[in-house]
Homo-oligomer: A and B are copies of this chain.
């Protein structure tokens, strides 16, 4: 991706961004405050900036006079950066309706995602050696002297060509054999699946199809299903697709799905919904590429324990009742058509093994991808989603737990909470002095609600600006119309009704904050319990890996500010991205890693938190911003002090060349 430089004046703050980046988002990255209330739809017209040099592309041209346009004014939220540019932020755009102000000191790290090279170092056992292999066989034509059966002829050739011994031929393939083998004049391609204990010939095709082979990697999430179409020749992802899990209409979280599954045809409906979702995504991916369905030879599917059960049509009801027992932790290779995924004949699938009812194959897959099971370094792996799952350990041991953080960070239990779809506020800054927000929404639409990363941003900003106190209460006495008191407590208005996509004020309330605090407290408590259990200090943890689709826009420093993550050297923090999908991708390509996943699931210990009394203590202590024990968060304490100081002083004068 080509990089361009964007410099904002009068702050003289320059950053490098991808060419094509949204200008408002660039300002947010540079920590330059621009008032923006409509989420980037160009509707409020507040984010006017002057492009002094370089090229931007303006999508919409609203709320600007002809004279303004001539002077170089653009709406930052509707522009993309096309070259190195210099942008002046006019005083009124910084101030909103009030006085001048700048941002607090910039935060160096916003998140660091591991590179492909780093993965390779972390996973020396990875090799391009998929569990299925296509063998192009030019069979000797049978004669009276060489009268082996079709099946034995294939086995002989597999043995000769590849040294494969004792291959079992799948029954449906036996049925397809005689006609196909002759129709292709004994020139065939046979797909062999290595099931670990057994080599199984699963498909036969005419001619040489070995040059094209693909597989599907799936992260079967409770909310979102993400898939990749992987070329097994090159190891490249050639298409990606994701969509909501079709099961959502039967319940938003794992527990409500389990309850639904106990209805008469509930389990079948949930299975069918997951299958349809996966199938549609596969279709989309195939359509995007020149790969064909019949080139697909296997699937690896990683999901939490309940998702795996539902996909396989296995009753999950005992997952949710004490003592929380899943039916299975390891799942056999089965024909994909057995669950209704009818890609082609002889396509097999495997669900990644789980550790326990609440630490599933998605976590095992992520831990696999993270390479922490290979590492000498003490590592903490955190997957933040509906539940927060975390794994502590290294190559010698792995301890895992899951805290039912609840879906607050996914928007549930938050008045204007929503998933990260169009119009969701995903990034927020609040000016310390004016207390005015700068918001960016998904898809640059008028704001309709707030998604997970937006919620973390909002909490951190409310807290840093002193709008919200340590107990999570909004100070309704502040001199801004954005804060106000209602019957159920205080609230802060992120977007006014006339700027919003719903014609209602988009707010965050005391009640919302309380729910979010409980979620963050559960995750933080879970991390601490793992550390306590092993008598390890957080500073002894050498690497913290953050996984989850949630992590996409998550700003680590914000998560630390609200006490969701421990206050550590941010250099230790790295993003894994969607660890479950990444692990699936790696397993699709390497049977060694499939075996490693089994080993990881087996070596990982599970700590049940729901009945752990120390967990409750930790949880209660964490019901505070950032934490009851502020000494655990020295960085946050310092930043809070700085921010309050700045706010009290009315802020330093705008830096650089001046207003």
Interface set of A (CB-CB < 8 Å, partner B): 142-144, 147-152, 166, 168-171, 174-175, 177-179, 182, 197-198, 312-315, 317-318, 322-332, 334, 338, 354, 356-357, 606, 608, 611
A338 to B182, CA, bound (A): 26
A326 to B318, CA, bound (A): 49
Identify 7 residue pairs between A and B in the complex whose beta-carbon atoms are under 8 Å apart, listed by A's number: A147-B608, A150-B327, A150-B328, A152-B329, A169-B332, A171-B312, A178-B315
For the complex, would chain A's binding face be called helix, strand, loop or mixed by DSSP majority? loop
Closest B residue, CB atoms, query A322: B144
- Please name all residues of chain B whose beta carbon is closer than 8 Å to the beta carbon of A171 when the two chains form the complex: 312, 332, 334, 338
A334 to B175, CA, bound (A): 13
Point out the residue from B148, B197, B334, B357 that lies within 8 Å of A197, measured CB to CB.
B197
B177 touches A328 (CB 8 A): yes
Given known contacts A198-B197, A315-B179, is B332 in contact with A150 (CB within 8 Å)?
A: no
- Please name all residues of chain B whose beta carbon is closer than 8 Å to the beta carbon of A143 when the two chains form the complex: 323
- Please name all residues of chain B whose beta carbon is closer than 8 Å to the beta carbon of A323 when the two chains form the complex: 142-144, 147
Interface centre among A179, A312, A332, A606 (most CB of B within 10 A): A332
A497 to B570, CA, bound (A): 109
Closest 9 CB pairs of A and B: A151-B328, A149-B329, A149-B326, A178-B327, A142-B325, A144-B323, A150-B327, A178-B315, A197-B198
A168 to B150, CA, bound (A): 29
- Please name all residues of chain B whose beta carbon is closer than 8 Å to the beta carbon of A144 when the two chains form the complex: 322-324, 608, 611
- Please name all residues of chain B whose beta carbon is closer than 8 Å to the beta carbon of A611 when the two chains form the complex: 144
- Please name all residues of chain B whose beta carbon is closer than 8 Å to the beta carbon of A178 when the two chains form the complex: 314-315, 317-318, 327
Closest B residue, CB atoms, query A335: B171
A317 to B182, CA, bound (A): 12
Closest B residue, CB atoms, query A315: B178
A330 touches B152 (CB 8 A): yes
A171 to B312, CA, bound (A): 9
A197 to B144, CA, bound (A): 32
- Kindly provide the distance from the CB of A160 to the nearest chain B CB, expressed in whole angstroms: 17
A170 to B178, CA, bound (A): 29
Interface centre among A151, A171, A179, A606 (most CB of B within 10 A): A171
A147 to B334, CA, bound (A): 25
Closest B residue, CB atoms, query A199: B197
- Please name all residues of chain B whose beta carbon is closer than 8 Å to the beta carbon of A332 when the two chains form the complex: 168-171, 174
Point out the residue from B175, B322, B324 that lies within 8 Å of A312, measured CB to CB.
B175
Closest B residue, CB atoms, query A329: B149
Given known contacts A174-B314, A313-B175, is B330 in contact with A151 (CB within 8 Å)?
A: yes
Closest B residue, CB atoms, query A313: B175
Closest B residue, CB atoms, query A611: B144
- Kindly provide the distance from the CB of A216 to the nearest chain B CB, expressed in whole angstroms: 19
- Kindly provide the distance from the CB of A560 to the nearest chain B CB, expressed in whole angstroms: 32
